[in-house]
Amino acid sequence: MLLAAPQRYVAAVGASYTAWYDFKMTSPGIEEANLPQLHMMSQRISKVISREAHELSDDFSKIFVGGFSQGSVMALYAGLGQSKEIGGVCALSGYLHGSIDPVPAGLDKIRVLVYHGQGDRRINYVMAAKSYERIKAAVKNVEVISEPDMEHEISGHEVPIIRAFFAKCMP
């Protein structure tokens, strides 16, 4: 499931654009998220997940969320924070927000694919990698891939990896 973020004012850029939550940059590549907006958007996503699962006879394992950048942050935040374990999360060039600490234990069915460029100056890779370690400590099926020199983008290398992830998860 790939949802669209609303239009909102974002302090870091001083303008309105499509964004899940407002944020400001505390240093290059390190953002400080507006936690009430982050939580509110996570609740919105959770409602959609529940509605979609209901259409699938309440089979949450058939639900996958994913995103790029802020969408990735939201996919990890909402996907790992569900009361019922969903099928998986595909997170591209994002991070797991620190407000989910610790990551809920016992996530043994959900599958997580994380792909991030080591040259990302928008969302610092080193900072993001620390959040991936928190995911790996709590989630059994995690694949973290970093691409050297890749900036804040989706590369041609990751598209076949994403396809393979979904093919493996949804035979």
pLDDT tens readout for residues 27-69:
776 778 889 999 999 999 999 999 999 999 999 999 999 999 9
Binned at pLDDT 50, 70 and 90, residue 70 comes out as very high
Burial 101-137 (b: 16+ CB within 10 A, else e): eebeeebeebbbbbbbbeebeebbbeebeebbebbee
32, 26 in Cβ contact below 8 A? yes
d(CA 35, CA 39) in angstroms, rounded, equals 6
Q: Where are the domains of the chain?
A: 35-169
Average of pLDDT values for 97-101? 79
CATH class of 35-169: alpha beta
pTM of the model: 0.92
Binned at pLDDT 50, 70 and 90, residue 78 comes out as very high
Percent of the chain with pLDDT over 90: 74
Look at residues 3, 67, 74 and name the one whose alpha carbon lies nearest to residue 35.
Answer: 74
